[in-house]
């Protein structure tokens, strides 16, 4: 059973006229679009995933700007259901980027805190593309610890490259620690 305008107004502490205005807008959107899915909790969650996912794929990974994303959302008629604009897209991009960096920092801290427990089996090699690259990989996980261009491949060069990555070699245990 749908709550009345008066009861909604009392529950959320907003004037009845404001509640009535928003209910009218919802009804107009439903009649314009022919669906009430976007007005449901599931529909709102879907819109949020769609907006954040599009921003991540097209802007953060793909390098496209807020204007193009805004045009994309307008083509999908999401502008009728969200308060999305170029400036709000830019704010979301900045927030997602900040969250990605916070996540990276948290994971690096977690890895560093457990660094004495991490055992690596390293494989080192040189490979040539346009120039020579030093490559150091954890053989069990496939994670590349070092991948950098170099003109030399002697022990001193390797030692400097590995030290830059904060890897300590424990010869008595025959493994490295990050």
Domain boundary among 96, 113, 130: 113
Q: How many residues does the chain have?
A: 178
On whether both 42 and 104 belong to a single domain, the answer is yes
* Tally of structural domains, the chain: 2
Evaluate if residue 98 carries a pLDDT over 90.
yes
Nearest Cα residue to 103 out of 92, 95, 91, 93: 95
**What SS3 class is residue 20?**
helix
On whether both 48 and 103 belong to a single domain, the answer is yes
Domain boundary among 113, 131, 166: 113
The answer to pTM > 0.75 is: no
- Taking a C-beta distance cutoff of 8 angstroms, is the pair 39, 30 a contact? yes
* Pairing relationship of beta strands 168-170 and 175-177 according to DSSP bridges: antiparallel
Interval 31-80: pLDDT, tens: 655 566 666 778 788 888 988 999 999 999 888 988 899 899 888 877 77
Range of the domain at 95: 35-113
Interval 116-147: pLDDT, tens: 666 777 777 777 777 888 888 878 777 777 88
């Amino acid at each position: 059973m749908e709550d009345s305008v008066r009861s909604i107004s009392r529950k959320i502490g907003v004037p009845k006229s404001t509640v009535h205005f928003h209910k009218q807008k919802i009804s107009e959107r439903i009649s314009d679009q022919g669906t009430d899915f976007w007005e449901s909790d599931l529909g709102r969650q879907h819109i949020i995933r769609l907006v954040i996912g599009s921003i991540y794929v097209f802007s953060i990974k793909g390098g496209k700007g807020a204007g193009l994303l805004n045009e994309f959302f307008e083509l999908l008629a999401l502008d009728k259901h969200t308060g999305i604009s170029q400036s709000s897209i830019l704010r979301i991009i900045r927030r997602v980027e900040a969250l990605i960096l916070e996540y990276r920092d948290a994971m690096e801290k977690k890895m560093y805190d457990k660094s004495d427990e991490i055992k690596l089996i390293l494989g080192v090699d040189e490979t040539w593309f346009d120039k020579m690259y030093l490559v150091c990989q954890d053989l069990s996980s496939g994670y590349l610890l070092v991948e950098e261009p170099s003109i030399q491949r002697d022990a001193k060069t390797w030692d400097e490259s590995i030290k830059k990555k904060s890897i300590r070699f424990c010869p008595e245990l025959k493994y490295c620690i990050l």
